[in-house]
Structure 1
Amino acid sequence: MQRLLHLHQQAGRLGLRLLYLQLLWIGYTLRGGILLGAFPATAAAHAVLREHERDGLHQDLPSWRTTRTSFGAHWHRELWPANRLGAALVTIWAVLLASSAVVENLDLGTPSPLLAGTHTILGITLGLATAIVWPLQAHFNDGAIALLRRALILLLGRPGTTLLTGAGVGLILSAYYLLPGLIPVFGAIAPAAIATACLWRTGILANPPVPQTRLAPLTHAGAR
């Protein structure tokens, strides 16, 4: 009975922590006029989740003021780096979707099935890279291209962890499809929490804290 009560309390703290971050994500997305606010808010959410994992706070409930202060600081710091990464991702997705639409709507003859299969593989790969690049962005002081390269290296070097992360994010998105009411409550934060937890608890990103605003690049962590 005591264990069940503890599990309920732990689940409640987790739910409130994610709700705090979702409210902040919405607020700071609107603060940036949506277009300029969404990507920095996403980066800030991953940065705060990273702090919770690094400092062992993922089972606690940090105060609203502490969470808001940390989120705001990360949002301001990541305003332009996160938008550059977001623009790179949007561009790559747009090219892939446009190319896929051409393959689907034009009769290209014999190569059509091969091209369609190639686009499916590329779509899955890009989806996995998108899921893991934001936790990497919170961890490394790199530019957009270097972060995407790290994501691909991690995907190829640690496919098990990457697939676990993708499966967790996919499970959350499936839950959103079945229960749309969860979207305004946990929205972008639940997938971010899953991705961050998977990468930290498998030991890929864990390292001693470094007294900087963002961690300096660690050449070994992404490919381990």
Structure 2
Amino acid sequence: MVIKGSSGLLYRISDLIMRLVYLNLLWTVFTLLGFIVFGFFPATTAMFAILKKWVAGDTEFSVFPVFWKTYKSEFQKVNGLGFVLLLFSIIFYVDFKIISSNELFNQSFISGSLIVLLFIFSVFCLYFFPVYVHFNLPFFQYFRVTFFMSFISPLRTLIMLAVTVGLLYLLMINPGYIPFFGVSAISFAMMWISNKVFLKFEQREQEV
């Protein structure tokens, strides 16, 4: 049965919220199951695999089996990639600490350069999981393709950044919502926007 009009819209929104709450719960449980360090990347990958299906309009499937299958199958590979990202994050953190505590550096120049690099790295991280679940690539190819996708559509990338920051701000002033759909809601927005970028890229490739 298809519900039309405002009632249909309200039903679809409510249904999406309930699905996001369930997905957020799965993400939390499986992140903790991997003791956070080893669980974060495969749990996030599994969540984005579900979101990819939802964004494509496929909602008629059982969420848990797909989540669990993705979590298990991608555990080793995505943790390997994730620890590379984690290493870069630590390097950025250490660099900022060194610059902020050492007056011998030309802080304005070096800090400005690091901020630019941090911006690029942040955009890269936004696209990492959508790229991972959308493309089937060799290990190191994910870094090249993610970097390319991050800047193929600057407007959509800026929209993704704005939406992500906006949602983070809303969750900061309403922290009670974080355990229910804090991670899944932001990830849904990221997957929805990045999917538009992927479709544009694939359409362009077909036209060449």
How high is the TM-score relative to the length of structure 1? 0.82
RMSD: 2.3
Q: Distance in 2 between matches of 1:145 and 1:97?
A: 24
Q: Does 1:168 pair with 2:163?
A: yes
Tell me which amino acid in the other structure corresponds to 2:104. L
What is the 5 A alignment of 1:35-74? Answer: 35-54=37-56, 56-57=57-58, 62=60, 66-74=62-70
Q: Letter of the aligned partner of 1:43 in structure 2? A: T
Alpha-carbon distance in 2 for matches of 1:71, 1:174: 28
Q: Secondary structure at the match of 2:187?
A: helix
List per-residue Cα deviations over 1:108-141 (Å, max 9, x = no partner): 35x3201111111111211111111100011122
Q: 1:143 to 1:95 in 2, by over 3 A?
A: farther
Mapped to 2, the partners of 1:70 and 1:206 lie a distance apart of: 27
Aligned counterpart, 1:150 = 145
Alpha-carbon separation, structure 2, partners of 1:92 and 1:145: 15
**Which residue number in structure 1 is paired with residue 12 of structure 2?**
10
Q: How far apart are residue 201 of structure 1 and its match?
A: 3.2
Alignment partner of 1:28 out of 10, 15, 30? 30
Q: Is the 8 A contact 1:39 1:83 kept in 2?
A: yes
What 5-or-longer segments of structure 1 have no aligned partner?
208-219
Q: Per the alignment, do residues 10 and 96 of structure 1 end up closer, same or farther by CA in structure 2, a change over 3 Å counting?
A: same
**Residues 88 and 144 of structure 1 are in contact (CA less than 8 Å); yes or no, is this contact kept in structure 2?**
no
1:92 aligned partner, one-letter code: F
Question: 8 Å contact 1:139–1:205 — kept in the other structure?
Answer: no
C-alpha deviation, 1:206, in angstroms: 8.2
Q: How many residues align?
A: 203
Is the CA contact 1:96–1:123 (under 8 Å) kept in the aligned structure 2?
yes
1:195 to 190, 196, 206: 190
Aligned-pair distance for 1:44? 0.3
Does 1:181 pair with 2:176? yes
Residues 47-106 of structure 1 show CA distances to partners (whole Å, capped at 9, x for unaligned) of 11112223x13xx5x56xx00111111111110111112101110011011111111221
- Which letter maps to 2:176? G
Task: Report if aligned partners of 1:199, 1:205 keep a CA contact under 8 Å in 2.
Answer: no
Shift of residue 144, structure 1, vs aligned partner: 4.9
Matches of 1:156 and 1:196 in 2, distance apart? 16
Alignment-derived partner of residue 91 in structure 1 = 87
Q: Which amino acid aligns with 2:190?
A: A
Unaligned runs of 5+ in 2: none
Q: Which digits, 9 at most, give the CA deviation of each residue in 1:191-219, with x for residues without a partner?
A: 21111100123453786xxxxxxxxxxxx
- What's the secondary structure of 2:104's corresponding residue? coil
Q: Which stretch has the larger CA shift, 120-129 or 143-152?
A: 143-152
User: Alignment partner of 1:188: what SS?
Assistant: helix
Aligned to 1:137: 132
Aligned counterpart in structure 2 of residue 80 of structure 1, from 64, 76, 81? 76
Corresponding letter in the other structure for 2:14: G
